[in-house]
Amino acid sequence: MRQGSSCSEQVCFDLLNQFEHILESDPLIDEVGFIHPSQFMVLDKEAGSSTSTSFWNQDHKLGISTDILIQLCKDAKHAFLSAFKEYKSHVGVCCSLASKVMKHSQALLLLSSDFGTAWNARKLILSKQDQPLEAFTEELCLSRLVLSNCPKSEPTWSHRRWILKMISRSFSSPQLQEIINKESELVESIGEVYRSVLCFIYNEEIKDELSCMVSPLLVGFLHDNRAGTTRVA
């Protein structure tokens, strides 16, 4: 057992596999949070079922025990960096290596949203070839999931802004308008609860960058949401 750790190295890598399996088996997860072990019994009682003492997954919500958080994050980081190093050393496009990087970076970012190298790795892979719209909408889903737990994560907002710019360059205006509609709901919901300055900045930058393409809709929703995103840090 590592000093200062609540689980052995092998157990934590098993937990990383379990964590990634949960994410793959429930793609509709829309909220992630870190919970104290004492809350597992309460949640199980409310749900009328029993889960593990490491993860709680019900109704597309995922709770991660704070007991395993530090070591799980270390092992997710190790898995990601190893996969990314292998990916960069490979000549040409390798889908299997890219998939490993995307899988491990997803796990890492849900545990540590400000790990910029993981976001940059995802940008690199998504920029390599012409990607279908689905690849970018899935990326929007991931960043939205990260924001459910870390709504003031600047790297996450920045990555989301990059995704929208990529979509605007490659896909038609009607498709972008539908995505912007959903973006309005996200900004409004986060702005109402957290009143984060990042929401305000995000609104302003997206408006400036994309308004020429979907100006009536985009300008409308951004101005409507200003009231919910006041300049509060």
Give the tens place of pLDDT for each residue, 45-102.
Answer: 776 666 678 899 888 999 999 999 999 999 999 999 999 999 999 877 778 999 999 9
Q: Which pairing describes strands 61-65 and 31-35: parallel, antiparallel, or unpaired?
A: parallel
Mean pLDDT computed over 21-44: 90
> Which two tokens mark 131?
């990607």
- Statement: residue 192 has pLDDT above 50: yes
Task: Give yes or no for residue 209 having a pLDDT over 80.
Answer: no
How would you classify residue 92: left for phi > 0, otherwise alpha for psi between -120 and 50, otherwise beta? Answer: left
Orientation of helix 133-149 relative to helix 173-194, angle to 10°: 0
Q: Is residue 159 scored above 80 in pLDDT?
A: yes
For residue 4, the model assigns a pLDDT of: 37
Spell 177-194 as b/e; 16+ CB within 10 A means b. Answer: eebbeebbebbbbbbeeb
More confident site: 76 or 3: 76
What does the H/E/C string look like for 140-183?
A: HHHHHHHHHHCCCCHHHHHHHHHHHHHHHHHCCHHHHHHHHHHH
Looking at every residue in the chain, the average pLDDT score rounds to 79
Mean pLDDT of all residues in 162-176: 81
Query: Can you tell me which residue has the tokens 């157990």?
Result: 11
Instruction: Judge whether residue 122 has pLDDT over 50.
Output: yes
The arithmetic mean of pLDDT across residues 162-167, rounded, is 88
Worst-scoring range by mean pLDDT, 99-113, 158-172, 207-221?
207-221
Give pLDDT, residue 28: 94
99-117: per-residue pLDDT in tens?
999 999 999 999 999 999 9
Structure tokens at 233: 């840090």
pLDDT exceeds 70 at position 196: no
pLDDT at 140 over 50: yes
Which of the listed ranges 49-53, 58-62, 205-209, 221-225 does the model predict with the highest average pLDDT?
A: 58-62
The reported pLDDT for the residue numbered 228 is: 42
SS3 state at 20 = helix
Q: Is the model's pLDDT at 224 over the cut of 80? A: no
> Helices then strands (H, E): number in the chain?
9, 3
pLDDT (tens digit per residue) in 8-27: 555 556 899 999 999 999 99
Amino acid at residue number 6: S
How many angstroms separate the CA atoms of 101 and 164, rounded?
22
Query: What's the whole-number mean pLDDT along residues 24-49?
Result: 85
d(CA 26, CA 33): 15
